[in-house]
Structure 1
């Protein structure tokens, strides 16, 4: 079974003077502005790295949720934050790192078992698999048994 999702991007003008708009199939993003000023300055709008961070945070958190449910846990809460690092390399840019910070409450679960499940989710969520950069995980807080 293949699931296909799509997004569109338009860019008018070239280089720093260009302005773009991005939309997603679901409508979560609809003609959201992006460009040099939203990527490298503090202008309102989005940028590819922010969108990758959102995709990685939601994918990882969902993968962990399903992993915990598979282990028999039905109650708890997970909150993750992902930071994408963009670095200049030669004439271009590379995403060098995706850092995940995780806060969780899973009543009745040991810290060691939680860490094992979190690492498994980090390694197997589809967005982690897509990224070829260093993907790190920092469990900033955990409440269990």
Structure 2
């Protein structure tokens, strides 16, 4: 079993307080986040963009693995995952969907790449973790 850790410290009230996010590896250490960076588009990080980055990275790696299994060597896989947070959901804010936008450069049949892209969307571990609708646009070439 592989286990990785992320941690957060929050001090103060929701709207007036603030916190820091860190990762076990130390890549993020004490990165600030606040109500304003999450809900008011202020500069800074928030849980949704971190989930988006994790989703994009996971998806790209999984697609590369699937392509390798078909002897397709990707030149590049560039992916963005847009995480949608609905703040008005009954019971509290809810992540309702994730949208993957990926551009694949590889010397292979476009239909095969699209097939593998769909498999990666459903099969990457972060996609499986998210309890949300996951959509995708794929550009090949």
The interval holding the TM-score normalised by the smaller chain is over 0.9
Contact kept in structure 1, 2:67 and 2:74, CA below 8 Å = no
Where in structure 1 are there 5+ consecutive unaligned residues? none
Q: How many residues align?
A: 140
Structure 1 length-normalised TM: 0.92
State whether structure 2 residue 64 is matched by structure 1 residue 65.
yes
Deviations 1:24-79 (A, max 9, x none): 01112110001101101233321010010001000000000111011102242110
Cα 1:50–1:10, aligned 2, differ >3 Å: closer, same or farther? same
In structure 2, C-alpha distance between the alignment counterparts of 1:17 and 1:99, rounded to whole Å: 31
Deviation string for 1:111-145 (max 9, x for gaps)? 11111100001111000000110001101x212xx
Q: Alignment partner of 1:28: what SS?
A: coil
Q: Does 1:121 align with 2:114?
A: no
Q: Match of 2:48, SS?
A: helix
CA, structure 1 residues 75+83, in 2 after alignment: closer, same or farther (shift >3 Å)? closer
- Contact kept? 2:82, 2:98, Cα under 8 Å: yes
- Which shows bigger deviation, 69-78 or 32-41? 69-78
> What is the RMSD computed on CA atoms of the aligned residues?
1.1
Aligned residue for 1:11, secondary structure, equals strand
1:4: which partner in 2? 3
- 5+ residue gaps, structure 2, are none
Q: Which residue of 1 aligns with 2:21?
A: 22
Q: Determine the structure 2 residue equivalent to 1:97.
A: 97
Alpha-carbon separation, structure 1, partners of 2:74 and 2:29: 34
Q: Take 1:75 and 1:125, find their aligned partners in 2: how far apart are those partners?
A: 17
